[in-house]
Amino acid sequence: MAVFCSQCEKPFSRQSTLNRHLREVHNLKSSVVSYDPRNSRYKNFICGEENCNSSFINCQNLREHLYEAHKIEKSSVQEMDFLSMPDFETWFKQKQKDTVTNFYLKTTLKGQIYETSYFYCNRSGKVHTQQNSPKKRSTKSQGSCKMNKFCTSQIILKRNVQTNKCSIQYFYQHYGHETEVQHVRIPKVDRESIASKLIFGVSVSNLLNTSRNAVGVEDKLNRVDPLVRKDINNIKSAYNIDISDGCRHKDDATSVHLFVSEYSKSNLNPVVYYKPQGHVCCEFNLEEKDFCIILLTQSQREVLKTFGNNIISIDGTHRLNSYNFEMTTVMVIDEFGEGFPVACMYSN
């Protein structure tokens, strides 16, 4: 059983590791910690039933309490095996999309053979308010995603550090909340897609209209469907797109060049190929007036490796901006039979 730091609640598998953490991080002397769960100070898994003040040290105890004390249906568990970590990540992303939910990684315990990670529903936890902070943050219109109690849905991932094979226990029944799309994060692939469109001059109003027109096309609502201006502003901030129209510079060619230059220094550089106008290309049959840039993110690369040996689709879209450039998208078919964009090219 893990021991927890009394200052930051970080878990440790050994007392000695906790002692070193206390000395180096918090500049405190070591202290003996009880491993007895009955004496634990960290009973953060709170029961949400009326007139019940029970709390527990882990999600399993909370699930058992809800079943035994409140006669709530016992949470079902699905067990699955994956050949590699990328296989799990592909399933994980698709499962969150299909169920309109988010999970976050709370704890990872590392051993010599196995590494165990615990994922929890993002609705779990307490609402944190900075009452004494001089900078007050305005409350979100939809409220906090935290509900001051714990959801019972959980994913326990066990990875063999030598073979990279994974097995999971997926407790898929949620507790204490409904499916609310406003409390789900926009998936990384969708955020990257929106960022790339902003960088290449697609207006905010165009993005919002496209999002609203997509509502109702599929049977259920996706997180990216009810896109609002605040979402786009957050994406601008995350990807350092700081000009109101999405450009880094008033001159579009300079803006694109700055984007390529910035990411060329990054380990997550998505630019596979770049040929600006006015430059001579000896490698391919491109004229001096031609423009071409090909983007492929790390997450898209993993999906392409996994599903690119079956069906590949290529789709072109015109008139995304005033230059009438064409966006060509490469898509693969994932394990659920749905199209997944894995690369895009902007060119004239």
Dump pLDDT digits (tens) for 177-201. 777 666 677 777 778 778 777 776 6
Please state the length of the chain.
348
Backbone angles phi, psi at 174, to 5 degrees: -90, 160
- Ranges of residues in the chain with a pLDDT under 70 are 1-4, 6-9, 29-43, 127-145, 147, 180-183, 200-201, 214-226, 242-251, 319-322
Identify the CA nearest to 45 among candidates 1, 101, 106, 100: 106
Specify whether the CB–CB gap between 143 and 47 falls below 8 A.
Answer: no
Quote the pLDDT of residue 34.
45
Quote the pLDDT of residue 36.
45
Quote the pLDDT of residue 130.
56
CB atoms within 10 A of CB 288: 10
Instruction: Locate 124 and state its tokens.
Output: 């779990």
| pTM for the predicted model, two decimal places | 0.54
The burial of 183, by beta-carbon neighbours within 10 Å (0-12 exposed, 13-18 middle, 19 or more buried), is given as buried
Quote the pLDDT of residue 219.
53
